[in-house]
Amino acid sequence: MIPLYMISVVMGLLCIPILLALAKGFGLYTVVDERQSRVFTLFGKVLGTIDEPGLHFPLALFGPRALLMPLFGRQQVVSQAMRQHYLRGQMVNSEEGTPMGVGIWYEMQVNDPVAYLFMNANPEGSLQANVASSTISTLSNLEMDKMLEDRHSLSRSVRQSVSPLSEKWGYRLGSVYIRKVYFTDVQMVVNITDKVVKRLVQVTSAMKQDGENRVGLIRSETAYKVSQKMAEAAAARPDVVGRALNEISKHDPEILTSVMEVMETEQLLASGAAIEMVPEGADMMIQLS
């Protein structure tokens, strides 16, 4: 048997939460979080929307009708935080007829909760369909290079064409980006890979050839410089000896003659050759055996 004072304590403990729950249940107050809207409907009509965060009293905002809402109306919570969605694999054809896959990523945010709830049974699905169709119509029949390289301006075009419709359904479209453009035909991917490989092989050959040319150029320049130097080396003796003899001759020709005679005689002596001497100026033929 639980004593009555314990029951009183428990009642005291539960009193505040119960009162708060009842007040909330009867719509006496409502708390709106950041980036959240609460739409109040009564007898099939929109009574109003609260999108300012904080504590609110529907009775003060909507009058006595707010008291009927718990019984005959509804309070719907709509998040107005920014969301994102990625539409993968939208098929388009380029101007050249190449089948391409496109992935489009977009952000959206509820900016009119009433329109979002009641203008379209499936606003997300409708928005996806619109983004997809706009993407296909914007990107179809474009040159393949433009499709691959000019994505941001194309993304803006998609955004501009989808925005008016989405706003009708209470959605505001945020940033839109063409996130992926790819080739759907495997054979085409293989062909492009082959093309790049061949190009790389071509570059390799060109580099090799260029290297050979450079080596050839270095070698020919070297041969030219070496040849010049060797000629210089060959010319060194005549140049030096000639200059010395000229200097001696300029000073006194008799001295040069004497020098040559001395040198010749020394060489003759050093050679040890057999010598037959004939006096200078002999005017007869001498037969030597």
Partner 1 sequence: MTYLLSFLAGILIYATFRVLISGFYVVRPDQRAVLTSFGRAERMPDDGAEGAGTSPLEPDESERYQYPNVRVIGPGGPYFKWPWQRVHKASVSTQSVDLVWDPTVNQSTIEAVTKDNLTTGVNGQLRFRVSENNLYAYFFGVESPLEHVMGYFISILRERIATFVDPKGHELLDKTDLPEASSESAIELSEGVSINDLRKNLPTLNTYMEQQCRSTPGRYGVELDAALITTIDPPPEVDRALSAINSTRNQVAADISTAHADSEQQITMSKRAVEIANNNAQAEVAPLRELAVTLTAIKTEGGSDALSAYLRNMRIPLLKQAKRVVRTS
Binding residues among 192-251 for partner 1 as defined by CB under 8 A: 192-197, 199-204, 206-215, 217-219, 221-222, 225-226, 228-230, 232-234, 236-237, 239-241, 244-245, 248, 251
Instruction: Return d(Cα 46, Cα 100) in angstroms, integer.
Output: 46
Which segment (41-49, 53-61, 121-129, 134-142) binds partner 1 by CB under 8 A? Answer: 53-61
Q: Minimum distance between the CB of residue 251 and partner 1, rounded to whole angstroms?
A: 7
Site string for partner 1, 146-185 (x = CB under 8 A): --xx-xx-------------------x-xx-xxxxxxx--
Note whether 86 and 103 are within 8 A (CB).
Answer: yes
Q: Minimum distance between the CB of residue 42 and partner 1, rounded to whole angstroms?
A: 23
Q: Minimum distance between the CB of residue 243 and partner 1, rounded to whole angstroms?
A: 8
Structure tokens that stand for 276 in this block: 């037959």
Q: Minimum distance between the CB of residue 202 and partner 1, rounded to whole angstroms?
A: 5
Nearest CA to 72 out of 43, 48, 29 is that of 43
Instruction: Return d(Cα 61, Cα 66) in angstroms, integer.
Output: 8
CA distances from 99 to 113, 181, 191 (A): 39, 11, 14
Chain centroid to Cα 31, Å, comes to 47
- Of the pair 72, 190, the CB lying nearest partner 1 is at 190
Which residues partner with 104 through β-bridges?
87, 178
Q: Does 71 bind partner 1 (CB under 8 A)?
A: no
Q: Does 24 bind partner 1 (CB under 8 A)?
A: no
Q: Does 87 bind partner 1 (CB under 8 A)?
A: no
Q: Minimum distance between the CB of residue 11 and partner 1, rounded to whole angstroms?
A: 6
